[in-house]
Every structure is written in structure tokens, then in C-alpha cells.
């Protein structure tokens, strides 16, 4: 294969991967909810741990920025514990913040969608015509690591623990962004 052709094939693969993941927003009652197509956080080391009988706690954070994509205006976070039933090959998910909710017998896609459905940003001025950006971040802390976001919000212990440790294996992290969006353009 010639070098220019190989570069073209590689570039097409990267573009296809970038297009395969999309963050979409909609109104759900008085809040903004998101869905992510092509996002697969039940993979890699997290999936390996699940198939070895362990549970994985995912930190999910949804933030809204206005003016520019860096002007943070609203933020919400959630913790979801995921386990895997080896016999049924199905997932169980539990929301760790109050009110606790759980679901079981889910496919990987349904488990991931369930976790995202626990997130919702309280509506800001719904008639505001200013553009805004959404950012979804999903993290899987290493085993034994304190989560930065716990059931009561940001955990000072987890933050100190994370910042004081020497560099280790990078934390699994997935990031999706969408925008600029307008409140009046979101589906209801």
C-alpha cells in the first residue's frame, strides 16, 4: 500500500470514529437531559473488571457553558455502580446518590443509557436565546481510588487522594461535547 493511500485510509477511520460519537440534548420536564450515541464506556479495563466479577463505579458529569465553551454556568454529577452477571450476560446499574435507583437485566447499551438518564441539568432561563455548550465526561476511577464525586457532591478526600498520588496508570475517561445549542431548539 502506498504511503499517501495509507494516510487517507487512516484519516477516514479517525473521522468515522469522531462522527460515530454524538451528544444530543432534549428537554425533560424542567431540565436538560442528554443522550450519547456511539459512547461505549463499558469497555477496556472497566469491562475486564466487570467480567472478573467486580463492580465499577462511573463518575458522570454534565456541564453547561455559555458565551464561550469555557464559561461554566451549570454542572451536575452522578455516580453509577455497574455490575455484570456472567451467566445472563446482562448488566445491573445502581445510582449511588439520593434517591437511590437501580435497574437490572440490561444490555450494555441500555445500561449506559440508564446511567446518562440519571443526569439532568436544571433549566436555566428557557427563553434565553444565547447559545450554550454541553460537555459530558465519564470517568472510571482505578480500583481502590476514592471517587472525586461522592454521594454528597465533591469529595475533598477523593480530590486530595487523586492529587497526592504519584502518576499511575491513566484513568479511563470519555468526553463528548455539543454546541453551540439554543434552548428553544431542543426537542421536548
Residue 177, domain member (yes or no)? yes
- How many Cβ atoms from other residues are within 10 Å of residue 142's Cβ? 14
**5: in domain:** no
> How many domains does one find in the chain?
1
- pTM for the complete prediction? 0.71
The answer to the question of residue 11 being in a domain is: no
Euclidean distance between CA atoms 57 and 110, whole angstroms: 16
Tell me if 8 is assigned to some domain.
Answer: no
Kindly state whether residue 168 falls inside one of the protein's structural domains: yes
Answer yes or no: is 136 within a domain: yes
Confirm whether 58 is domain-assigned: yes
- Residue 25's domain spans which residues? 21-185
- Are the beta carbons of 33 and 120 closer than 8 angstroms? yes
In a domain, 140, yes or no: yes
CA torsion 125→127→128→131, rounded to 10°?
110
Task: Read off the pLDDT of residues 61-96 as tens digits, 9 standing for 90 and up.
Answer: 998 888 665 666 788 899 999 999 999 999 999 999
In DSSP terms, which residues pair with 23 in a beta bridge? 36
What is the Cα–Cα distance from 101 to 115, expressed in whole angstroms?
10
pLDDT tens, 18-57?
445 789 999 888 888 899 988 999 988 889 999 998 899 9
Amino acid at each position: 500500500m502506498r504511503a499517501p493511500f495509507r494516510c487517507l485510509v487512516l484519516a477516514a477511520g479517525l473521522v468515522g470514529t469522531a462522527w460515530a460519537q454524538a451528544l444530543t440534548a432534549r428537554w425533560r420536564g424542567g431540565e436538560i437531559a442528554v443522550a450519547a450515541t456511539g459512547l461505549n464506556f463499558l469497555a477496556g479495563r472497566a469491562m475486564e473488571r466487570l467480567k472478573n466479577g467486580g463492580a465499577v463505579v462511573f463518575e458522570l458529569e454534565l456541564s453547561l457553558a455559555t458565551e464561550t465553551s469555557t464559561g461554566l454556568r451549570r454542572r451536575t454529577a452522578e455516580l453509577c455502580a455497574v455490575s455484570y452477571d456472567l451467566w445472563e450476560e446482562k448488566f445491573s446499574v445502581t445510582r449511588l446518590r439520593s434517591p437511590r435507583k437501580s435497574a437490572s437485566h440490561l444490555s450494555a447499551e441500555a445500561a449506559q443509557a440508564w446511567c446518562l438518564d440519571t443526569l439532568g441539568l436544571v433549566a436555566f432561563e428557557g427563553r434565553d436565546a444565547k447559545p450554550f455548550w454541553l460537555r459530558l465526561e465519564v470517568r472510571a476511577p482505578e480500583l481502590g481510588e476514592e471517587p472525586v464525586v461522592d454521594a454528597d457532591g465533591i469529595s475533598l478526600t477523593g480530590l486530595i487522594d487523586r492529587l497526592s498520588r504519584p502518576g499511575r496508570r491513566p484513568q479511563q475517561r470519555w468526553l463528548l461535547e455539543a454546541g453551540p445549542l439554543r434552548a428553544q431548539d431542543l426537542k421536548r
